[in-house]
Amino acid sequence: MNIKDIEAIPLNMRFKPDLEQSVLRSGLRAGKGRVTLYRVELANGVVGYGEHLNGPDDVTEFIGQNAVAGLVQIRHAGVQMALYDAVGKALGVPAHELMGRQVRDKVPFAYWSCELSPENWAEQAQKAAGLGYRVYKFKCRPWWDPLEQVEALSKAVPEGFTCWLDFNGHLREARQALPVLRALDSYDCIGGFESPMPQRDAEGYRQLRAKIDKPIAAHYGSGCCHVRSDPTYDRGVSALDQIGRGLCDSFVLGGGDVRSILDHAAVAQEAKKPFWIQTVGTGLRAAWVVQLASVCQQAVLSNLAAHNIWAQDLVKMPAPVAGFAQVPERPGLGVDIDEEAVAVLREAEPMEIGREITTVVYPDGVRWHFASEQQRHETFYFGSAPGFARGARLQGWTDDGSADFTDLFRRCEVAPVLSGS
């Protein structure tokens, strides 16, 4: 059962209008909605599909290889996914039978978004609840007031709907994290906290777990911070240290390689640590996550693929029911590619993204102006601006062609600009 051919199909996706602004202010901005669909054809004519974000890779080296062996040996996320789809179809079995022993026939699944204003977050949460989700994973950023955000959320969601807040280490250290998390801890709509501080801070995590009631999740054996200028800022600690020193209640498992996730899942099972699988992709990736989570004993927290951000998807992924996604039992990934959508998206023009100045506004009139998301991250990680302040909000100024915009943007490109102090 060899690989006869692989076609890499570049697609220009679009984000949902009500999420586009927040997504384009995140790390997904650089990708401009690009997704590559991989069509793998086996020698027997069976076809499988996989995908990954961003542009196509040269995958011709995999043509001619044994498809079954490739499930383990090929680590390219898009091609490996397509092989699980194709080999499953060829053998007449769902992909989860190629991954391991199934332990559940439905998988907890979460809604996801980047940061939003309190009003927009509450609106998105209502939409998520209406679609059948019961958990919402949300990026909590220091240029917003988290208490204002959560207060708005608490008034908008039904009983039993919860949100996990992902800080990506922005609470910096325990003395900053404790008062913020204690205030948020009292809300019933908060399910837990993901990576509140840099994961290198083992003692800080021990303090948080001793003093915070809600569970704390950490990225498995890695760092969690968006710092590019200093690669040593957050290298994290090993998973064995996280387990042995009691640094977290649960894990976040990421990546696109089935074998790696299964290896990490085995460690989590031995340690009795629950986890969720987390990645960003289309409905095709969501189907892959559901198949994989169905064979992982400890994948009892709400998994996600962030596929709810797209205006038009590649597959018609069924909505969850009471927070759970049914595991498809059809061969392969168990979903059908929307050929009409693919035809439209492969002909679509690339997304045009103009310049924007983002400004963090504080109630006392102080303003921090930025030319990029990375500037925002590092300004707050390194403590130059006060994070998670009461009343803080993020505003945007899209390039309007004015001399004032151009002048401020050029100054921001050199360094963040402080005004009103």
CATH number of the domain within which 45 lies: 3.30.390.10
Q: How confident is the model at residue 394, as a pLDDT?
A: 97
Q: Are 189 and 162 in contact (CB under 8 A)?
A: yes
Residue 10 domain flag: yes
Which helix (H) or strand (E) segment holds residue 361: the answer is strand 356-361
Region 148-170: mean pLDDT is 97
CA distance linking residue 170 with residue 207, whole number of Å: 16
Residue 251 domain flag: yes
Select from 419, 415, 421 the least CA-distant residue to 376: 415
Region 129-142: mean pLDDT is 97
Q: How confident is the model at residue 32 (pLDDT cuts 50, 70, 90)?
A: confident
Q: How confident is the model at residue 298, as a pLDDT?
A: 98
pLDDT above 90 covers a percentage of the chain that reads 93
Region 287-305: mean pLDDT is 98
Is residue 181 located within the same domain as residue 49? Answer: no
Q: How confident is the model at residue 226, as a pLDDT?
A: 87
Q: How confident is the model at residue 168, as a pLDDT?
A: 95
Q: How confident is the model at residue 418 (pLDDT cuts 50, 70, 90)?
A: very high
Q: How confident is the model at residue 231, as a pLDDT?
A: 83
Beta strand 367-370 pairing with 417-419: antiparallel
- Its domain, for residue 310, covers 106-339
Is residue 307 located within the same domain as residue 375? Answer: no
- The secondary structure of 145-200 as a DSSP string is -HHHHHHHHHHHSPTT-EEEEE-TTTT-SHHHHHHHHHHHHT-TTEEEEE--S-TT
Region 388-412: mean pLDDT is 97
Residue 101 domain flag: no
Residue 99 domain flag: no
Is residue 256 located within the same domain as residue 380? Answer: no
Is residue 46 located within the same domain as residue 143? Answer: no
Residue 100 domain flag: no
Q: How confident is the model at residue 270 (pLDDT cuts 50, 70, 90)?
A: very high
Q: How confident is the model at residue 116, as a pLDDT?
A: 95
**Mean pLDDT estimate for the chain:** 96
CA distance linking residue 131 with residue 24, whole number of Å: 24
Residue 272 domain flag: yes
**What's the domain count of the chain?**
3
Q: How confident is the model at residue 275, as a pLDDT?
A: 98
Sheet holding 190-194, edge to edge: 111-113, 135-139, 162-166, 190-194, 216-219, 250-254, 275-278
Q: Are 299 and 268 in contact (CB under 8 A)?
A: no
Is residue 295 located within the same domain as residue 320? Answer: yes
Using the predicted structure, report yes or no on whether residue 318 has a pLDDT greater than 90.
no
Q: Are 15 and 74 in contact (CB under 8 A)?
A: no
Q: Are 12 and 349 in contact (CB under 8 A)?
A: yes
Is residue 58 located within the same domain as residue 129? Answer: no
Using the predicted structure, report yes or no on whether residue 94 has a pLDDT greater than 90.
yes
Please say which residue of 36, 70, 93 terminates a domain: 93
Beta strand 106-108 pairing with 324-326: antiparallel
Q: How confident is the model at residue 58, as a pLDDT?
A: 96
Using the predicted structure, report yes or no on whether residue 156 has a pLDDT greater than 80.
yes
CATH number at residue 239: 3.20.20.120
Is residue 114 located within the same domain as residue 84? Answer: no
Which helix (H) or strand (E) segment holds residue 341: the answer is helix 339-347
Q: Take residue 5 and report the two structure tokens written for it.
A: 């051919």
Q: How confident is the model at residue 274 (pLDDT cuts 50, 70, 90)?
A: very high
Region 6-13: mean pLDDT is 97
Q: What is the pLDDT of residues 328-382, one digit of tens each?
A: 999 999 999 999 999 999 999 998 899 999 999 999 999 999 999 999 999 999 9
CA distance linking residue 262 with residue 220, whole number of Å: 12
Q: How confident is the model at residue 29, as a pLDDT?
A: 82
For residue 52, how far is the Cα from the chain centroid? 13
Is residue 23 located within the same domain as residue 152? Answer: no
Is residue 383 located within the same domain as residue 297? Answer: no
CA distance linking residue 261 with residue 106, whole number of Å: 19
Residue 137 domain flag: yes
CA distance linking residue 388 with residue 383, whole number of Å: 12
Is residue 254 located within the same domain as residue 174? Answer: yes
Q: What is the pLDDT of residues 210-236, one digit of tens each?
A: 999 999 999 999 999 988 888 889 888
Q: How confident is the model at residue 27, as a pLDDT?
A: 82
Region 194-200: mean pLDDT is 96
Please say which residue of 93, 116, 134 terminates a domain: 93
Region 62-91: mean pLDDT is 97
Q: How confident is the model at residue 243, as a pLDDT?
A: 96
Is residue 33 located within the same domain as residue 176? Answer: no
Using the predicted structure, report yes or no on whether residue 112 has a pLDDT greater than 80.
yes
Whether pTM > 0.85 for this model: the answer is: yes
Please say which residue of 311, 339, 367 terminates a domain: 339
Residue 243 domain flag: yes
Is residue 228 located within the same domain as residue 83? Answer: no
For residue 6, how far is the Cα from the chain centroid? 27
Q: Take residue 409 and report the two structure tokens written for it.
A: 């943007």
**Residue 120 CB neighbours (<10 A):** 17
